[in-house]
Amino acid sequence: MKGLSLFSTRLWRYRGWVLGVVVAIVVVDLIGLIPPWIVGSAVDYLSTGAAEPRTLWLWGFLILGVECGRACMRFTWRRIAFDFSRRVEMDLRNEFMARAVRLPPSYFDRTTIGDLMSRATSDIDQVRMLFGMGLLTLFDVLTIVVTTLPILIWLNPTLTLYTSLPLPFLAVICWKVFIETHRRSHAVQEQLGDVTARVVENLNGIRVVKAFATEDVEKERFEQLSSVQVRLSLSLARVQAVFFPIFTIVFETGTLLVLWIGGSSVVRGDLTVGDFLKYVLYLGWLTGPMVGLGWTLSLYQRGIASMERLNQIFGLPEAEDGAAGGAAPGAVEFRNLTFRFAPDREDVLRDVSFSVPAGASVAIVGRTGAGKTALLNLLARLYQPPRGSIFIGGRDVRDIPLASLRQMIAVVPQEPFLFSDTLAENIALGLPAPEPAVVEAASRAACLHEAVERFPQGYEQIVGERGVTLSGGQKQRACIARALAVNAPILILDDAFSSVDAETEDRVVANMREAGRGRTVFTVSHRLSSVMDADLIVVLHEGRVAAVGRHEDLIRRHGLYADLWRKQQLEEGIR
Ligand SMILES: Nc1ncnc2c1ncn2[C@@H]1O[C@H](COP(=O)(O)OP(=O)(O)O)[C@@H](O)[C@H]1O
Ligand SMILES: [Mg+2]
């Protein structure tokens, strides 16, 4: 039960609230002890034969008053408890999100968004219930047991001994249910992650689903997953369903003993009818929460299982940061860089070495899968490069704090991603505030401005989820504008023109040369004619540097580059 630390830190953080709940519960339960006492005493008073109606009225009103007071307090503790549990929920959700966005990108290679989503919703819900109703009932049961049991013993010790006989059985049953619920609710929550993942993936890929008309297949696959979820949930419900009746039967055996043994005492005259009534009422007062205990225990088990799932995320290492201190940015060096994504995978980069002076333009070319994106992701430390393999301004990127590294490098990713926000907000993502002038300048440089002018709302146009309302080329240019807006000394364009026509590409490249003087620019492009003017061209082949040089040198060498060049020249000739 590693989840418990999560529990205790929250309890401590909200100790004022917890104290409020506990005090209110204790008060409610203490008040609750009064009515049985009054009723019992009233019965004894009646059996004296000299009862006055006025005294009975008084007792009646007393009970009414007590119950009103109890109702008020009950309202108070529920309010405090629910308030508290909602706060814990908010807290957990915020912390979860903060944590999730800090996870290293490599984590997202291994998991699904749906899994994280189900943790952020369903698991946090379970934990909230644990903190709300769970905590409440636990304290309630404890207080009632602690206060009622002494009264029962005081009223009649022998009788209490007999009624306690079933207790060990109850303990065993509780324990069994505890273990089973834990196991089964873990399974339910895990599988719920799969179901959510499926929903997310299908809806994300809805256009592909429609294009390939696989709606029915997807529906069937989903129904299968759903039915597994039902089966697991039912198996969890079954444990609980068996538990309640057994619990009640065992407990009622106690009541049977009371009637039998207690009744005989009354007949023998050892016990007054009033005291017997008190005993029965107090026992009933104890039974209620005891039966509720079963439900609480299952709440605990589900809550703890969910907390463990949250802790799995909280316990993950964050993206590793470098030590403090700035570096003079600009010059970049790769030194014998060898990298693989996971220990059981092949090397995707092997012994890559080359250096780039500050302000140079570098083109990385090579076939798909050559490792170009991997190389640039390592430079931006989206993945962790080995120590001593990549240097910016003479400093190992591993030693540069991520916050300053991200200010040094602006990335246009190979797959453009926009948020469902306005175009202005998207372009100004890396800026403290979306200044219209900066947004427009960046957008002009990226050759996006003309297109934006034709949008009904211009830069205030909402782009839809992931930018679905834009064309591929517009999306890419919006991402380029976003990178240009931050004015970072190093710019990475990873295949940023794949959906942009050749003419626009050349214009953007010219604009950047104009605007970005002094910037070190890394460009991946499949159109060699757009990178032939680069200061340095690095040819990657199967993760190795095949050649480094300027365009003319590489053409003269008759290698891979010259091959590619010749082919592309032919193609352009045909066009
Ligand atoms: N996140 C990842 N996990 C494991 N392997 C990856 C990952 N990303 C890319 N690869 C593999 O690394 C190799 C290089 O990919 P990449 O750098 O994207 O090539 P490209 O030169 O086309 O940009 C490919 O074989 C690809 O399958
Ligand atoms: Mg790539």
DSSP letter at 527 equals: -
**Same-domain check for residues 297 and 414:** no
Give the ligand whose atoms come closest to the C-alpha of residue 539. 1
**Residue minimizing CA distance to atom 24 of ligand 1:** 369
Which ligand 1 atom is at minimum distance from the Cα of 105?
Answer: 1
**Same-domain check for residues 307 and 373:** no
d(CA 153, CA 151): 5
Provide the residue range defining the domain that includes 479.
Answer: 332-574
252 belongs to a structural domain:
yes
DSSP letter at 319 equals: P
User: What is the per-residue pLDDT across 313-351, written as a single tens digit (0 to 9) for each?
Assistant: 888 887 777 665 555 567 899 999 999 998 888 999 999
Q: What is the pLDDT of residue 248?
A: 77
Which ligand 1 atom is at minimum distance from the Cα of 371?
Answer: 17
Q: Give the CATH number for residue 191.
A: 1.20.1560.10
Q: What is the pLDDT of residue 243?
A: 77
Q: Long-range contacts: 397-404, Cβ < 8 Å, 24+?
A: 397/322, 398/320, 398/322, 399/322, 399/323, 399/325, 400/322, 400/325, 400/327, 401/321, 401/322, 401/323, 401/324, 401/325, 402/319, 402/321, 402/322, 404/326, 404/327
Candidate of 339, 341, 352 to mutate for ligand 1, largest count of ligand atoms within 8 Å of Cβ? 341
Percentage helix, strand, coil for the chain under 3-state DSSP, each rounded to 5 = 65, 10, 25
d(CA 136, CA 134): 5
CA of 495 to the centre of ligand 2 (A): 7
325 belongs to a structural domain:
no
296 contacts 138 by C-beta, under 8 angstroms: yes
Q: Give the CATH number for residue 533.
A: 3.40.50.300
184 contacts 239 by C-beta, under 8 angstroms: yes
Q: Is the CB of 341 under 6 A from ligand 1?
A: yes
Give the ligand whose atoms come closest to the C-alpha of residue 413. 2
| Residue found by looking up tokens 């050759």 in the block | 447
Reduce the DSSP state of residue 343 to 3 states and report it. Answer: coil
User: What is the per-residue pLDDT across 223-253, written as a single tens digit (0 to 9) for each?
Assistant: 999 999 999 999 988 887 887 788 778 777 8
| Last-in-domain residue among 279, 314, 349 | 314
| Last-in-domain residue among 258, 279, 314 | 314
**Same-domain check for residues 214 and 356:** no
| Last-in-domain residue among 314, 348, 367 | 314
**Same-domain check for residues 221 and 111:** yes
**Same-domain check for residues 274 and 393:** no
415 belongs to a structural domain:
yes
User: What is the per-residue pLDDT across 270-288, written as a single tens digit (0 to 9) for each?
Assistant: 888 888 889 888 888 887 7
84 belongs to a structural domain:
yes
d(CA 115, CA 90): 19
Cross-sheet strand order for the sheet of 361-365 = 409-412, 490-494, 520-524, 361-365, 536-541, 544-549
Q: Is the CB of 364 under 6 A from ligand 1?
A: no
Quick one: pLDDT band at residue 432, thresholds 50, 70, 90?
Answer: confident
CA of 9 to the centre of ligand 2 (A): 44
Candidate of 337, 339, 348, 382 to mutate for ligand 1, largest count of ligand atoms within 8 Å of Cβ? 348
Quick one: pLDDT band at residue 372, thresholds 50, 70, 90?
Answer: very high
**Same-domain check for residues 242 and 137:** yes
User: What mean pLDDT is reported for the chain?
Assistant: 87
Q: What is the pLDDT of residue 18?
A: 85
Mean pLDDT of the region 250-259:
80
323 belongs to a structural domain:
no
**Residue minimizing CA distance to atom 26 of ligand 1:** 369
Residue type at 377?
A: N
547 belongs to a structural domain:
yes
d(CA 297, CA 308): 16
Secondary structure (DSSP) of 454-520? TSTTGGG-B--GGGTTS-HHHHHHHHHHHHHHTT-SEEEEESTTTTS-HHHHHHHHHHHHHHTTT-E
**Same-domain check for residues 353 and 296:** no
Q: What is the pLDDT of residue 324?
A: 54
93 belongs to a structural domain:
yes
User: What is the per-residue pLDDT across 134-184, written as a single tens digit (0 to 9) for each?
Assistant: 888 888 888 888 999 899 899 888 888 888 877 788 778 878 877 888 888
CA of 364 to the centre of ligand 2 (A): 10
Q: Is the CB of 373 under 6 A from ligand 1?
A: yes
CA of 467 to the centre of ligand 2 (A): 20
Number of independent structural domains in the chain:
2
d(CA 329, CA 520): 9
322 belongs to a structural domain:
no
**Same-domain check for residues 471 and 343:** yes
**Residue minimizing CA distance to atom 18 of ligand 1:** 373
Q: What is the pLDDT of residue 477?
A: 93
Question: Which helix (H) or strand (E) element contains residue 369?
Answer: none
**Same-domain check for residues 391 and 425:** yes
**Same-domain check for residues 343 and 301:** no
CA of 391 to the centre of ligand 1 (A): 22
24 contacts 80 by C-beta, under 8 angstroms: yes
Q: Output the CA torsion 281→287→289→294 (10° steps).
A: -170
Q: Is the CB of 370 under 6 A from ligand 1?
A: yes
Residue 340, Cβ neighbours under 10 Å: how many? 14
User: What is the per-residue pLDDT across 85-142, written as a single tens digit (0 to 9) for each?
Assistant: 888 899 889 999 999 888 888 888 888 888 888 899 989 998 888 888 888 888 888 8
Give the ligand whose atoms come closest to the C-alpha of residue 347. 1
Non-local (6+) Cβ contacts of 208 within 8 A are: none
**Same-domain check for residues 375 and 401:** yes
**Same-domain check for residues 137 and 177:** yes
